[in-house]
Structure 1
Amino acid sequence: MLTDYLTPSTINFAENVEGWRAAIALVAQPLLESGSITTEYVDSMTDSIAGGGTYIDLGFGIALAHSRPEDGVVRTGLSSLRVTPPVLLNDEAAHPIDQFFCLAAIDAKGHIETMQELAGLLSDDELRSELLAAQTSAEVTAVLHKIGTP
């Protein structure tokens, strides 16, 4: 399922991003462009993080930005952004992030299914390391295709 959402058009890389707010805007951009989310969804994610939402820090320099479906989800989508160098989530030194994901789920079922698959990827030490080493969308896609293969 991740390969249905994470495609060359939703996997991006950026250098010298001016802080976490810019990173959230950049990771959300493919979903905005596809019509999967509205600008209100981006605002909701940003407001949540600014209000102390460092809970989106999954560890290993990875953050999963998301909000509630009613905050502007049109259809389920997922995007990814790798930033170099890392940015500080909510400007907190304890939360350097260089891999952002943006999840937009139309309902709880889609949210849970996508989260479970993403958790499977990120909890596998080898796949997570390969993901974090990927420098192109093709390399990210290759890692995604390894999920669930022996």
Structure 2
Amino acid sequence: MLTQYLDERTMLFPDRVDGWRDAIEQVAAPLLADGAITREYVDAMLTSIANGGTYIDLGYGIALAHARPESGVVRTGLSALWVRPAVLLNDEEAHPIRLFVCLAAADSSAHLAALAQLGQLLTDEAARDALLAATDPTTALAVLTAGEQS
């Protein structure tokens, strides 16, 4: 599922990220540009995080940015943004994030499938560390592809 949606266009390695709000804007940009989500979806993610939504912090410096499908999902999509240095989710010291994954799930089955694959990746320390250390889409895609084949 992850490699079905993540590619060179949807995996971002920016030179600069100015805080968590900018990270959400940047990670959502490919999905917004190709019409998978509307602007309302981005706003819903920002509002949710600002209202204490640090629950999107999956641990290990990875956050799963998402909102409810009715908030502006047109079709299922994923994008990812690697951040160096880490940014503080909702400006909270307890939540430094190095990888933002944006999930736009059109339905609950797509949501669960993506969560299952992310969960599998998070439990594999070597794969997780390799993914966090990626510096370009080719390297990140190789880690994701290997994870899907194991």
- Shorter-chain TM-score bucket reads over 0.9
Q: Structure 1 stretches (4+) deviating beyond 6 angstroms?
A: none
Which SS does the other structure have where 2:141 is aligned? helix
Please list every run of 5 or more consecutive structure 2 residues that lacks an aligned counterpart in the other structure: none
Q: Which amino acid aligns with 2:54?
A: T
Q: Note the C-alpha offset of 1:123.
A: 1.5
Q: Matches of residues 1-150 of structure 1 in structure 2 within 5 Å? A: 1-150=1-150
State, as a whole percentage, how many aligned pairs show the same letter. 57
TM-score (norm 2): 0.97
Looking at structure 2, the residues matched to 43 and 148 of structure 1 have their Cα atoms a distance apart, in angstroms, of 32
Give RMSD over aligned pairs. Answer: 0.9
TM-score (norm 1): 0.97
Which SS does the other structure have where 1:15 is aligned? coil
CA offset digits 1:14-60 (Å, max 9, x no partner)? 23311100000000001001100000000000000000000000111
Looking at structure 1, the residues matched to 11 and 140 of structure 2 have their Cα atoms a distance apart, in angstroms, of 8
Matched length: 150
Please list every run of 5 or more consecutive structure 1 residues that lacks an aligned counterpart in the other structure: none
